[in-house]
Structure 1
Amino acid sequence: MSELALINFTRGVPATESFPLDEVIDAARAAVDHHGKVILQYGPSPGFAPLREWLAHGHEVEPDQVLIGNGSLQVMEFLLWSQLQPGDVVFTEAPTYDRTLTLLRRHRANVVGIPLQEDGPDLDALETALQQHTPKFFYLIPDFQNPAGTTCSGPKRHRIVELAQHYNFILVEDAPYRQLRYRGFEEPSLFKLAPQQVLHMSSFSKLIGPGPRIGFMLGQAETIAQLAKIAEDTYITPNYLAQGITYEWCRRGFLTPQIEKLKRLYSPRLDACLSAIDEHLPGALAIRPDGGFFISLTLPAGVLTTEVRERAKKFNLNLADGLAFFPNGGGERFLRLPFCALTPDEIHEGIHRLAQAVEAVKPPPKPHAFNNWDKRLELSDTVRLLGDLLGQVVSTEESPQLFETEERIRALAKARRAGEGQAGGRLAAEVATLMPNAARGVAAAFTLYFDLINVAEEDYRVQALRQRQRELHPNPVDESIADAIGQLKARGLTREQMAAVLNQLHIELVLTAHPTEAKRRTILSKLQRVGQGLRRLDATDLLPHEREEVLNALRAEITALWLTDQARTAKPGVTDEVRTGLYFIGEIFWEVLPRIYADLDAALAQHYPQLKSPARWLSLASWIGGDRDGNPNVTAEITAETLRLHRGLAIEQHRKALHDVSRRFSLSARRSPPPPKLKAWLEARHPLPQHVAFLERRYADEPYRLTLSLLSADLEQASQEQMTARLLENTPHTARISLSDLAQPIELIASGTPPALSQYPLHLVQQQLEIFGLHTAHLDIREDSTRLTATLGEILRALNLDTTFEQSDDLSRSRTLLRLLAQPAPQLAENPGITPDTSETWATFRLLSRVQHIYGHELLGPFIISMTHGAADVLTVLLMARWTGCADGLHIAPLFETLDDLSNAPRILADLFSQEAYRLHLARCNGEQTIMIGYSDSNKDGGYLAANWALYRAQENIARVCRESGVKLTLFHGRGGSVARGGGPANRAIRAQPPGTINGRFRMTEQGETIASRYANPDLAHRHLEQVVNAVLLSSTPLDPAAAIPSAWREALNRLARDAWRAYHALVYDTPAFLDYWHAVTPIDEISRLRIGSRPTTRRNNALKLEYVRAIPWVFSWMQSRFNLPGWYGLGAALSEHSATLNREMYEQWPFFRALLDNAEMSLLKADMGIATLYSQLAPDQACAQQIFDRVRAEYDRTVATVLTATQHANLMDSDPIIQRSIQLRNPYVDPLNYIQVDMLRRLRALPDQDGGEAEALREVIVMTVNGIASGLRNTG
């Protein structure tokens, strides 16, 4: 661990960057100029008179009530000399400041510790202690206490003052952190409440710096005079020079801005510390302060601070002795974490190391008595077990009454579902009696229940999959890669045809952050541990006591989940979302993608042994940190930092892998001589840099190990590269290390070592290098066409090249762009006439140029143009890329989203492909064109059926234009998690694409809300990925049985789409009151406030109009209110007017139509018009609302009937009984959350004060229900 930088979590020192150096210099000059003869001379012991007067004025006392000393500890010692006799009783908080304890013990005080609670001293313990002792005084730190971080509540302050007055003892209030409050409201000081009973101490150490040693005490004049006499006898006079400088610093008004500066500096560090604790130390209990310098931790049961401190040293982490803060023993599991002197990155790393130390010393959990359970739990047993454990936790940690309330509500919801006539009204009446706190508790119970059920279902899926694999072996499971290759071989696909498929095979999954998970990452990590516990429980060889230990651990995790805030306290930043995406890549994809590569290799070896899989045929990309469409938080600086994080993860992952593998390659040069080229490579490295020279001495006769260790060291050096700064400046740079620098020597090692070594550990490293490179994932860049046009328009005006560019039509703009593309690029300034509003767009292009010149093209994905309306939108990007030097190799991807744009896409592309300038650009991109189609806005624009058919036709026509133009097409599918946004089973969705549109090249988004459900578990991640690959392979061959679509089907879909569009538009666009209805009957305003993602709800600020609203909150809000309208509306109106026989025929024989109706059935089953009625009753205009709801209800009933007629199902989702049963079992538990949400919305909207405490309490409940409903329905947006 010697390479780790030391991190100190010991003393509460301020950050050096906080020191106001310039202001102190200014104040020092003024102090010498104005007071030099005084501050350099002896003076009165109470302190420099002007500073005493300044302090007296600020605290509303007289100057003779102020004593200034050389630090507050010295002032405290004066008090002890003056007031304390050996054996006198002094109360302190427990824990308390260890330096004060040292002073008290030095004066032989009898110290009695009063236990500290989150809101201050334990008053019961204080009153009990007062019945036994009357203290000389009670020393306490009421604000952001050192070491615990707690703040004493207002009621407790008043009670403590009352007790001091009743028992006649002095309160010594130490308040050095009082002014460092980062959030919340200030409580009155004890001195303010009772100046006769309180001595108030503070200092400037945390404000200016500890160097001047300025501490002071406020008290009664008589007491201050006594202490001044002791001060005089101690040092004659205090440090007048420092006091004079401090006075001038204060007098000149530097204090207030300095405090604000400290808050800006320290508040993010507090948040970073809490976030890191949540992530890495979920088993510890943390005090969550609103200010100050410290957070305190109580370590998990059985983990001792002394052992953790000792183990932490091995990780180069220093910790304070927790025992030292407790006057009468205790604190064996206590830790104080000062955060102000460390950067957020150092804090995160320090907490990570602390977690490692805790894990290293954690004892096995003690057995706990549980009932005997069957050795292998079925899903229903698992759900029952988790429900029972949750019930026990709610009763224990909250109250039995809350558990009983939750059970009553659950029983009423089940009775309502069973058809009991009065149950719905009784359920609504029960909910109406709940106070917000109780409603929040009930909602939290149901929400956590769904989270646990989801984990249980995922575990069950893994077990079922593994069982199926065992039963079918050696045959492959359905929808696997081996299944696809086997099918193709059985259909007669020749080796040459298979080689052609492999030659064009490229699949890329693109991670996005919107909508990101509705749950915090802290909650996700805890749920992952619940899943791990369930997997341990599935083991058949557990001993009885081991089973009890697992169950005990599950109870602990559920307890921690219950006691953890479900909702985020602040919206995540873009880099937070980047790190979340990278977490899944590092923890899941890094392991799983090589397994997928191995699957294809094994399948080819079995069926086509002469063929090898292509290089990098399955890869990752990301929008997170590159998608600036409508998100002002994504800047060029954020994108540069994202690229640094991407490269940093790859470098660190490869470094660790090479370091680990090097240990296995301890082959002696005598036993396994290295290839000559490897010897030459090692010779060329000489002389070795100093930081790696020791490796040659250590591994003198082990060339393979030396080579791998050198590469690991190279990566360690590369990790120190200041990449973000390099990308944002204009000076020339080159990358410290390239992929070939690693790949070449590793290939030499592989060629010279036995296959048993090269084919296992080394081959995995080579695969990971091939898959992830030094970039981890390509970063896509996305921007809105309007923003791009505005940016270029400003530049053209500034250069007098075109003054009306933005106002011109597409044809005119295209002509201008083609003319400029044919000319040399002009000499441009860094910001050529651009206003701040659009300068970020130009900065992005400049950044892309820097990225390409320093690191090459592999870091970047395509440049995606949102809302592409014409060829000029694409040529605009090409011109700006050309002018900034990043056009070569930059793939430009138009995104067609609306129905009109999807219809016009073939014409736009044909126009582009006919232009010589664009053909030249395509040639530099290997003749490849990526085209993205959007599932979200097209649905919002035209409804479910019309959007899906428009997308289908657009793909056919786009593929045709590309074939005719000789362009290699990759269709990029912008799918969401919900059916309305293109969601659904991936394999089925890919197989339902138009024939001839995939051809081995496939790109799709993995939306933020689906990433955790698909990729949190490595086995489920592998299953999802193999299903994607299976579908792409089967859809990419000339033997694909998907035949041409009969003209009758195509004509039928044209009519169905037309009629569905009319029905949808008649409701959504042509009903004047519909948008008001949407606002009233869904929690859209509350969703807009949710701290889910960094992206705003609308494309334009405060523009909740349908054309500006993003599809995600549109879908999410309808899902919450159980209308689920975007997933089915208009379908029934269309189907009912057309041949039922033809509808059945298309369902049975056409994969597209089958997927369309199957997905609609899922949406219809998750919808509930009975619940939707409750939301409709929230609308102020009930007459209008009833008219709209009646139309929606009638269309719902008609859609259910016509869909069931077409599918020939007796019930919705008969085609998938597992999902059907899951939805049916969940509904009685989702319903109470809807009832609570409706009631809270009604109360909130009736409040006259929408910003008061009551409104905030109601919103907290609503946010909880939003999370619960999303978890119960397994949908966000």
Structure 2
Amino acid sequence: MLKQSGNQKDIYTREVITRFELYNSLFLTLPFYQVKDTGILLPFFTSHCEKGVAKLKSPAEIIETFFKERAPEIDEREQINRLFRFIQYIERQVVLFDAIEDSSFSKLSRTDGNGTLQGLVQQIAQDDEVRDKISEKLRNFSLRLVLTAHPTQFYPGTVLTIMTDLIEALKINDINAINLLLQQLGKTPFFNKTSPTPVDEALSLMWFVEHVFYNALADIQTRLNEEFDLGDVLAGIFELGFWPGGDRDGNPNVNTDTTRTVAAALRQTVFRCYYRDYRALKRRITFRGIEEPMNALGRIMYDNAFNPRPNAPDLQEEMAGLLQNIKDTLVKDHDGLFVNLVDDLSLKIRLFGCYFARLDIRQDSRVLRNVFRFGLNQPELNNGLPAEEYAGLSEEEKLRLISFNEVDFPCAEAPVPGVDPMINDTLCTIRLMRSIQQQNGEMASHRFIISNCQQASDILQLMNLFLWCGWTKDDLTVDFLPLFETINDLKHAAGVMEQLYTHPVYKEHLRRRGNRQMIMLGFSDSTKDGGYLMANWSIYQAKVELTAITRKYDIDLTFFDGRGGPPSRGGGKTHRFYAAMGEEVANDHIQLTIQGQTVSSLYGSVETAKFNIEQLVNAGVAAVLHPDQRDVLDYKEKELITTMAEESFGRFVALREHPLFTEYLENLSPLKLLSNINISSRPTKRNAGAALKLEDLRAISFVTAWSQLKQSVPAFYGVGSALRAVKEGGKWSCAAELYKTSGFFKTMIDNCIMSMSKSDFRITAHLQHDEHYGAFWTLLKNEYDLTKAMLLELTGNKELMQEFPVEKNSIALRERIMLPLVVLQHYALQRSKSTSDAELKSVYEKLVIRTVYGIVNAGRNLV
């Protein structure tokens, strides 16, 4: 990635910082909630927090001295009331800042066309040979963006709507509209009174599918087709995936009814989009000879948008045929007038079909093994397999004995006494996938992802479950995706896949599926398991090994990357990772999850979505544009990174095994209270009723807890020690050279730096004197200081993110806005533990929960 220019920094200062200061001064004078002077008092509170943190004072001391100086006459309950009012203002300051940044997006991105489609076109304007190579590359390229069921966006739909309108008003500096919207914002609730259901979450995410991706993907495809003459191939480039309603491992509250409802909602939503476009088309096409196909098309779209029928058939081909009929008549009899409108709707129908987004099903391998054992105990399914002894057999014996017998085993619609509900749900969902394909099209639900996949039998047993539920080998239109997550599973992934590639039944299944295999690699759990460096390096090595073994069997491989928003969950500048992949890694197709706030921060509007999608398209064609700049790490470079990863891994594992690790996170962060936040329908950890174990803690909760502490431990711990070991081993010049030459290594380091810039150990500095936690806090702080020093030396910079002043300023402003919330949170946590008043304890816990909302929203991609 190119360094950001001084010009961008100046534009950012003018368009964002100055305008935020201006509109914030207006905002702070608005009399919300009948609390006089709260907005006027907030700047004093913010300043007091900044000065207190700079002096390393404890949160309790900062809050107590503020009230002693500014409101000595009020009691504790009124102090709490004032703190809640401060939070309400700060929450809305965050919305204002987000809206101002988003409204300035085009001006900021226009200064640097690097990675955009316009920049690509200009770059190859005079080079027909490169243009032809890119066209060829795009014909074999695909990009799938998968929206996941990991909600870390705390804004309800009402607030998102206000934000959308506020962005438009800010683009033209409409003071009157901005003032009214800020007033509306001040009176609009920011959180749900009850937790959403899985269907609620899916419907919320569909807002982005309907209002952003529907137009953004079609616009980019149209432009690519015009520039590179891709024709009908274009419809296969972009794919939209969807996890809410299908991801059982991510949310145990998802069931068969959820999946059925979400699939129907996706179908109805896409027809609603089609019907809007149809109405625009009908206003223009008013000619003779087209009435019959236009009316037929209108009836189909209207009925499916507003009067959906159960078991409605797949209508994609019928709609495409009617549009082709209309186009032919326009060309023949009406000079091709408005053919572009017909082409646009035809393109969208080819792209989204009757399904809109492809609904993935995901379940943990341990659940699926349990379902398979249940099947072995059913006489009609067993087919001679040793049901009682099966689990204890070797992997080789299992692969030899799985029978793949085709049986239409009936599933109970209602729970069966004595049978685990997960078993019945799995069997019913497998049947449901067939119904969804028949109604919405094969692409509507064609992937089953096996989380925690550890052996080839995990996939083959799942195949057998499909054959027990009415599917046959010949019509098994389903792709089975192993998800390798832990460091150990990543290490053995290639061996597992070779067993599959050589198994006769799976080999034949792949042949019927076009010899294409998709493999998912999980960043979040691998980072929690092995730390930042080891997770990234293990995934890279797994990709190299999996690519080699898959090419050996002449199979087309696609990696599906489970990446979160921040670097600690595999996020950051994701397109830079893809652009840096060398020939050792299969990179013809890009598939990645979009989760949490990444949806709204990177894909919240058509404009930002197009920019970020174009970045990924550019990454996909990077090999053509820069054939000599692709990473091919030699033996010594791999050895160097391995040395660093192993040193970092050792440090991280030692930290995880520290007796205070889990206790520190539980007692000093809001981890225990995250389950009380009404933004998600899923628990914060697996085995919800049991005592906390790190392996049960979901990665999103793990990273959230550290981010609330302002200690981004998962994204940096062990990195400094690893770099120091390299330096002490006399390899420092090699590491410095690697940072300059390897896109993979540089991106990994730069993302670590970005996460570290969001840490602030000053807020918890009082813990260094704590008798119980002092030594542990010092351990974390020392590694942070070491990592910062080593990274600055490695990059040759004087401060973190020096090369990216725009992002540095954005993070700094956000950190300043959220600082009072962080101080408030730690104060409230401490008071909730120390008070003996049950009512006050409850109120302080509510105060903590409210700060979590604001901190996460302010951080954008914080978790």
**TM-score, normalisation: structure 2:** 0.90
Give 1:1142's aligned residue.
Answer: 734
Contact 1:484–1:1033 (CA under 8 A) maintained in structure 2: no
1:985–1:1026 distance in 2 versus 1, CA, 3 Å? same
Q: Is the 8 A contact 2:225 2:234 kept in 1?
A: no
**Among candidates 234, 242, 261, match of residue 614 of structure 1:** 234
Work out the number of aligned pairs and report it: 824
Q: 1:759 to 1:1207 in 2, by over 3 A?
A: farther
Distance in 1 of aligned mates of 2:600 and 2:537: 30
The answer for the alignment partner of 1:1095 in structure 2 is 682
> Which position in structure 2 is the counterpart of 1:1260?
846
Q: Check if 1:504 corresponds to 2:81.
A: no
User: How big is the shift at 1:452?
Assistant: 1.1
The structure-2 alpha-carbon separation of the partners of 1:377 and 1:1049, relative to structure 1 and needing over 3 Å to count, comes to closer
Q: 1:826 to 1:611 in 2, by over 3 A?
A: closer
**CA-CA distance at 1:765 after TM superposition:** 0.7
Partner amino acid, structure 1, of 2:344? L
Q: Which of 269, 272, 276 in structure 2 is aligned with 1:656?
A: 276
Are 1:1155 and 2:747 matched, yes or no?
yes
Name whichever of 1223-1232 and 964-973 sits farther off: 1223-1232
Quick one: distance in 2 between partners of 1:817 and 1:1033?
Answer: 45
Identity %: 26
**Partner in structure 2 of residue 260 of structure 1:** none
Q: What is the Cα deviation at residue 825 of structure 1?
A: 1.7
CA distance in 1, matches of 2:179, 2:631: 55
Which structure 2 residues correspond to residues 172-571 of structure 1 after superposition, within 5 A?
378-393=15-30, 395=31, 397-416=33-52, 427-430=62-65, 435-466=79-110, 468=111, 477-484=113-120, 497-537=133-173, 550-571=174-195
**Alpha-carbon separation, structure 1, partners of 2:652 and 2:192:** 36
1:424, 1:776 → 2: CA distance? 49
Quote the offset at 1:380 in angstroms. 2.5
Query: What aligned pairs does 1:577-588 form with structure 2 within 5 A after superposition?
Result: 577-588=201-212
Q: Deviations over 1:717-776 (max 9, x none)?
A: 3457766x64xxxxxxxx445211111121122123146534421111111111111110
The whole-number CA distance in structure 1 between the counterparts of 2:294 and 2:565 is 43
Alignment partner of 1:703 is 2:289 = yes
Q: Distance in 2 between matches of 1:1110 and 1:1023?
A: 31
Q: What's the CA shift for 1:410?
A: 1.4
Structure 1 pair 525–490 and aligned structure 2 pair: CA distance change class (3 A)? same
Deviation at 1:654, TM superposition (A): 1.5
Superposition deviation, residue 956 in structure 1: 0.9
Match of 2:529 in 1: 941
Shift of 1:516: 3.6
Structure 1 residue 429: Cα displacement: 2.8
C-alpha separation in 2, matches of 1:1051 and 1:377: 46
Q: Secondary structure at the match of 1:1171?
A: coil
Partner secondary structure for residue 679 of structure 2:
coil
Is residue 2:392 matched to residue 1:814? no
Aligned to 1:1008, the other structure's residue is in SS state coil
The match for 1:768 among 337, 342, 348 is 348
- Cα distance in 2 for partners of 1:413, 1:1248 equals 27
Cα shift at 1:1176:
7.2
2:562–2:593 contact (8 Å) kept in structure 1: yes
Q: How does 1:952-967 map to 2 (within 5 A)?
A: 952-967=540-555
Amino acid at match of 1:388: S
Larger deviation, residues 587-596 vs 1256-1265: 1256-1265
Q: Write the distance in 1 (CA, Å) between the matches of 2:670 and 2:182.
A: 29
Q: CA deviation at 1:1174?
A: 4.8
CA shift, 1:461, in A, is 1.9
Change (3 A) 1:423 1:840: closer
- Deviations along 1:427-467, one digit per CA (max 9) or x if unpaired, are 3434576622111111222222122112111112223335x
In the alignment, what sits opposite 1:788?
A: 368
In the TM superposition, residue 1040 of structure 1 has moved relative to its aligned partner by 5.5
Where does residue 670 of structure 2 map in the other structure? 1083
Cα distance per residue 1:122-173 (max 9 Å; x no partner): xxxxxxxxxxxxxxxxxxxxxxxxxxxxxxxxxxxxxxxxxxxxxxxxxxxx
Conservation of the 8 A alpha-carbon contact between 1:510 and 1:1006: yes
In the alignment, residue 758 of structure 2 is paired with which amino acid?
K
Kindly provide the amino acid, as one letter, of the partner of residue 452 in structure 2: M
Where 1:1169 maps in the other structure, the secondary structure is: coil
Counterpart-to-counterpart distance in 2, 1:710 and 1:826: 41
Residue in structure 2 matching 1:1269, options 851, 855, 863: 855
What code does the residue aligned with 1:739 have?
Answer: Q
| SS at structure 2 position matched to 1:851 | helix
* Structure 1 residue 388 displacement after superposition: 1.0
From the superposition, tell whether residues 837 and 1019 of structure 1 become closer, same or farther in structure 2 (CA, over 3 Å).
closer
Paired position in structure 2 for 1:318: none
Q: How much has 1:486 moved relative to structure 2?
A: 6.0
Which of 822, 827, 830 aligns to 2:411? It is 830
Give me the whole-angstrom Cα distance separating, in 2, the residues matched to 1:396 and 1:871.
Answer: 60
Q: Secondary structure at the match of 1:1184?
A: coil
* Counterpart code for 1:747: Q
For the residues of structure 1 that align with 2:535 and 2:160, how far apart are their CA atoms? 34
Deviation at 1:1035, TM superposition (A): 4.1
Cα contact 2:453–2:484 (8 A) shared by 1: yes
Q: Is the 8 A contact 1:738 1:774 kept in 2?
A: yes
Q: Return the letter of the residue paired with 2:189.
A: D
Q: Which residue number in structure 1 is paired with residue 73 of structure 2?
A: none
Instruction: Supply the distance in 2 between the matched residues of 1:599 and 1:1263 (Cα, whole angstroms).
Output: 45
Structure 1 pair 1275–909 and aligned structure 2 pair: CA distance change class (3 A): same
Instruction: Report the alpha carbon displacement of residue 810 of structure 1 after superposing the two structures with TM.
Output: 5.7
SS at the partner of 1:405? helix
User: Contact 1:1174/1:1238 (CA < 8 Å) preserved in 2?
Assistant: no
- Of Structure 1 and Structure 2, the greater helix share is in 2
> Structure 1: how far apart are the matches of 2:125 and 2:466?
45
Query: What secondary structure does 1:1134 align onto?
Result: helix
Question: Corresponding residue for 2:72?
Answer: none
Which residue number corresponds to residue 925 of structure 1?
Answer: 513
By how many angstroms is 1:990 displaced? 1.8
* Post-superposition offset of 1:862: 1.3
Asked if the contact 1:817–1:872 (Cα under 8 Å) also holds between the matched residues in 2, the reply is: no
Give the Å deviation of 1:482.
4.5
Q: How far apart, in 2, do the equivalents of 1:660 and 1:499 lie?
A: 32
Which residue identity is paired with 1:1264?
R
Please give the alpha-carbon distance, in whole angstroms, between the structure 1 residues aligned to 2:58 and 2:357. Answer: 53
Query: What secondary structure is seen at the aligned counterpart in 2 of 1:1166?
Result: coil
For residues 1093-1137 of structure 1, the C-alpha deviation after alignment (integer angstroms, 9 at most, x for no partner) is: 122111222342101101001001100110111110010011001
Q: How high is the TM-score relative to the length of structure 1?
A: 0.62
* Cα distance change of structure 1 residues 720 and 709 upon mapping to structure 2, 3 Å threshold: same
CA contact (8 A) 1:1061 1:1130 kept: yes
Which of 783, 789, 806 matches 1:1195?
783
Alignment partner, residue 621 of structure 2: 1033
Per-residue Cα deviation, 1:1149-1183 (whole angstroms, up to 9, x for no partner): 00011011111111111101111335778xxxx42
Q: 3-state DSSP class of the match of 1:1170?
A: coil
Is 2:494 aligned against 1:859? no
CA distance in 1 between counterparts of 2:422 and 2:314 reads 37
Following the alignment from structure 2 to structure 1, what is the Cα–Cα distance between the partners of residues 32 and 653? 53
Distance 1:935 1:658 in 2: 42
Equivalent position to 1:1166, from 738, 758, 761? 758
Higher RCO, Cα 8 Å, sep 6+: 2
1:944–1:980 Cα contact (<8 Å) kept: yes
User: Structure 1 residues 911 and 488, CA, compared in 2 at 3 Å: closer, same or farther?
Assistant: farther
Deviation at 1:583, TM superposition (A): 1.1
Rounded Cα–Cα distance in structure 2 between residues aligned with 1:1037 and 1:875: 41
Q: Give the residue type in structure 2 aligned to 1:1083.
A: P
Specify the SS of the correspondent of 1:508: strand
In 1, distance between residues paired with 2:659 and 2:359? 42
Structure 2 residue aligned with 1:873: 458
Gaps of 5+ in 2: 1-10, 69-75
CA–CA distance in structure 2, aligned partners of residues 721 and 398 of structure 1: 46
Equivalent AA in structure 1 for residue 289 of structure 2: P
Q: Residue 32 of structure 2 contacts residue 187 of structure 2 at CA under 8 Å; is this kept in 1?
A: no
Contact map agreement 1:944 1:1128 (CA 8 A) in 2: yes
1:631 and 1:1095 in contact (8 A); partners too: yes
